[in-house]
Structure 1
Amino acid sequence: MALKKLFPILFLFLSFNFYAQNDNFKEKKEQIRAMKVAFLTSELDLTSSEAEKFWPLYNTFDDKQFELRHQKMKGYFKRMQGDNIDKLSEKDASALLDQIEDNEEDLFNLRKKFIANLKEILPSVKIIKLKKAEEDFSRKLLQQYKDKGSNK
């Protein structure tokens, strides 16, 4: 349960960091994507046939997930900066919560559809390995970020 709460926080934290450094954003995103591809490739042990079908599907999913997490969340972050939260009316706060819930539901439905599509090309064991590998990669990335921060 704690991991489910950690991932959105991780992605939000990383998006803040990337958003603040917009010039390096695309470069950082591509570096992370390359690291993620290498990590998933080693963890999943896909056959060439599986890989040929998997990567286009995964990349499309990953792009849509990124868009939902980062593009839509940008508006939320602006409204939650500084003391803006304290200035929200109950009506505005309720509307913001509705937007956040809608975004979370969109993310859930995207993942659900992605898994349904994966079932057509990968055995269930590899889909579970993918989920574990994504979580392991996120932990590894967070640890690298923490290590880099403590070296300053």
Structure 2
Amino acid sequence: MKKYILLLTIILTSFSSIAQHTKESRKKIKALKTAYLTEELQLTSSEAEKFWPLYNKHEEKIDFLRNKGRIEYKKKIKEAGDLSKLEESDAKKLVLLRLELENEIASEKEDFNTKVSKFLSYRKIMKLHISEREFARKLMRKYGKGRSKKE
């Protein structure tokens, strides 16, 4: 009995440390992205004061909508046992849900652009879009290089 309790404790501790590591990694990436965008956009202190609260809220909404779709997809596929076993009606609902979420994301992006255009030039907004993509590419290259070295 003691062995099972010890084993269970070790497993739970491992999961907890993995979850903690993931949270720390996300925080680190967010900090790197903030620093990168700050440097690229060259915001004035007045612009930064208005920009960052809006941007952070915007990012949270986008992440929520993306995760909502992923969670629902995984849940339905897991319930079916496999994608090939998924009912056609459920597959249709998931496809429609994805389209709905993509529309909500587009609407959120449009709303964000409208809000920041009140104090940022459209050149800076374009620079933001480009810089976000560049950051994502750099991040992917970094992780890609890290994986190829490990394999």
TM over 0.5: yes
Q: Name the amino acid aligned to 1:140.
A: K
Taking CA–CA contacts closer than 8 Å with sequence separation of 6 or more, which of the two structures ends up with the larger relative contact order? 1
- The corresponding residue for 1:118 is 116
Larger radius of gyration: 2
Unmatched segments (≥5 aa) in structure 1: 1-20
Correspondence for 1:109 among 83, 89, 107: 107
Unmatched segments (≥5 aa) in structure 2: 1-17
How many percent identity over aligned positions? 38
Q: Deviations over 1:91-134 (max 9, x none)?
A: 11101111111111111111110001011110000000000000
State TM-score, norm by structure 2: 0.81
Residue 83 of structure 1: CA displacement?
A: 6.1
Q: Name the amino acid aligned to 1:128.
A: M
Whole-angstrom distance in 2 between the partners of 1:105 and 1:94? 17
Whole-angstrom distance in 1 between the partners of 2:139 and 2:85? 35
Taking a change above 3 Å as real, the CA distance of residues 83 and 149 of structure 1, as seen in their structure-2 partners, is: farther
Please give the residue correspondences for 1:43-62 in structure 2 after superposition, counting only pairs within 5 Å: 43-62=40-59
Correspondence for 2:84 among 83, 86, 91: 86
Please give the residue correspondences for 1:7-22 in structure 2 after superposition, counting only pairs within 5 Å: 22=19
Alpha-carbon RMSD across the aligned residues, in angstroms, is: 1.7
State TM-score, norm by structure 1: 0.81
- The corresponding residue for 1:24 is 21
Q: Aligned residue pairs: how many?
A: 132
